[in-house]
Structure 1
Amino acid sequence: MSMVKKGIFLVIEGLDGSGKTTQATLLAQKLSKTYKVLLTAEPSKGKIGSFIRDCCLYEQTRLPTEAEALLFAADRIEHMQKELKPALEEGKLVICDRYVYSSLAYQGSAGLSLDWIKTINARALQPDFSIFIDVPPEKVIERLKRKKSVMETLETQRKVQEVYLKYVDKGELVRINGDRDKEFVAEELYAKVSGLLEPVKGYVSKAV
């Protein structure tokens, strides 16, 4: 774990359709009763992040995988400079919906070298804690079909999950079983994060 001087940086990861955005939101709501919290996400709301959302999140406008990986890395630097670092310097608990592991999982599963992806993200802030909301690929495909927002195939989702689980096995990601009612997932996530924060809570500003 790489500890920043002030604040704590927590990342929530998961497959598209895993419910990670819902869980990040619920977690931020609970923790904001105790700490000053910033909930943010990638792609960011900056210029590069907006371009990514316009051009890289829809099958008909996708760019070459290498170009997308570089765009995500560039957005990450802008996000870090304009939002993440200032919030951490204020002593906030920063909760980020997707970060470097998303690039490793998605662009890595598409065939890019994981080492190369790490290299282009070498300047990114290191999270203090990273959580993976794990849902079977078959389940996320079902959820996405109901929302009519399926972009990746089942095989692609399996490959993405495989990369995530590789980092779970390495101890870099903490796995939470997301294949349950969202209330149970939220309870476990809150308990897990509260336990992780306990030894380092002095780094985070208290809610007023």
Structure 2
Amino acid sequence: MSAAGGGGRGRPAARGRFVVLEGLDGAGTTTQARLLGERLRADGRTAHVTAEPSGGPVGALVRQVLTRRVTGVAGADFDPHALALLFAADRRDHRAVEIDPKLAAGIDVVSDRYTLSSLAYQGAALGEMEWVRQVNGAAGPPDATLFLRVRPEVALRRRRAASLDREIYEVGAFQRKVAAEYDRAIALLRQAGESVIEIDGERPVEAVAAAVWAAVSTL
């Protein structure tokens, strides 16, 4: 990334860049988002690291559903279509309240997950990827998505080693299905002209971070 322009007095700041880290649960997206934010700052940029579900009110509800703190009526499973709509609503709010104002101020934004996650996870849960894409249509694309490719069994092993907390999607068979949906979703976004860069997420953390930086520095 080139330095954000300051220019002469009265000139608006150059728009920041919006970069997304994606992958299966356990792929390392949270770690790499943090490291990318640190690298951007070290390079003289102003960077903001965020995540989805967001820290907003809808995002808080989504997190409670994912951890089964909130369920459907009488303890039933939460309706998967309703959950997909909550993800879309949180993304719209996240973009309007947090992401877009920072980009407009010349701040780079790095997000741990974005629309591609919904296409893969809600696409796998519902079998209706095109519908998921439509309800997320207003969110707008990032400047680049970096997909950390990790085999489902490796990602699940990492996730279980890192935390005792379990979310509703952390099941081996479902993660394999999500991995296949990621491939479909990546092809779909590329056909629409979006930039999706694949990185081997099974390498050591430092090697993955170097590959992430190499990809981002071309923006």
TM-score under structure 2 length normalisation? 0.82
1: distance between equivalents of 2:181 and 2:112? 18
Equivalent in the alignment of 1:37? 47
In the alignment, structure 1 residue 123 sits paired with structure 2 residue 138: yes
Misfit runs of 4+, over 3 Å = 57-62, 167-172
Matched AA of 1:102:
S
Q: Match for 1:63: what amino acid?
A: F
Contact 1:132-1:174 within 8 A present in 2 as well: yes
Compute the displacement of 1:80 (Å): 1.1
Counterpart of 1:203?
none
Q: Which residue of 2 aligns with 1:69?
A: 84
Following the alignment from structure 1 to structure 2, what is the Cα–Cα distance between the partners of residues 25 and 91? 19
Q: Residue by residue, what CA displacement relative to the aligned partner does 1:107-164 show, whole Å, maximum 9, x if unpaired?
A: 1011241111111111102111011111110111211222334442212111111121
Runs of 5+ consecutive residues of structure 2 not aligned to the other structure: 1-13, 72-76
**172-181 vs 43-52, greater mean Cα deviation:** 172-181
Evaluate the alpha carbon distance shift between residue 169 and residue 74 of structure 1 in structure 2; reply closer, same or farther with a 3 A threshold.
closer
Aligned residues: 192
* Matched residue SS, 2:59: helix
Cα separation, 1, equivalents of 2:49 and 2:124: 27
Give the number of the structure with larger relative contact order, counting CA–CA contacts within 8 Å between residues 6 or more apart: 1
Q: Structure 1 residues 60 and 81, CA, compared in 2 at 3 Å: closer, same or farther?
A: closer
CA distance in 2, matches of 1:189, 1:111: 31
Query: For residue 208 of structure 2, what is the aligned residue in structure 1?
Result: 185
Residues 1:57 and 2:67 are matched in the alignment: yes
Letter in 2 for 1:142: R
Which stretch shows the higher mean deviation, 150-159 or 120-129? 150-159
- Partners of 1:57 and 1:127 lie apart in 2 by 27
Instruction: Find the aligned partners of 1:112 and 1:138 in 2 and give their Cα distance.
Output: 22
Query: What is the distance in 2 between the residues matched to 1:188 and 1:87?
Result: 25
SS at the partner of 1:127?
coil
CA 1:127–1:22 in 2, change beyond 3 Å: closer, same or farther? same
Measure, in 1, the Cα distance between the counterparts of 2:23 and 2:67: 16
Paired residues of 2:120 and 2:185 also in contact (CA < 8 A): no
Q: In structure 2, what is the Cα distance between the partners aligned to 1:140 and 1:58?
A: 21
The amino acid of 1:38's aligned partner reads: H
The CA distance in 2 between the partners of 1:115 and 1:145, in whole Å, is 31
Normalised TM-score (structure 1): 0.86
Separation of aligned partners in 2, 1:106 and 1:82: 24
* 1:173-200 superposed Cα distances (whole Å, 9 cap, x missing partner): 21110011111111111111112x2xxx
* Match 1:156 to one of 174, 188, 209: 174
Partner of 2:11: none
**Paired residues of 1:56 and 1:68 also in contact (CA < 8 A):** no
Distance 2:94 2:22 in 1: 17
Aligned to 1:22: 31
- The corresponding residue for 1:133 is 148
Q: Percent identity?
A: 41
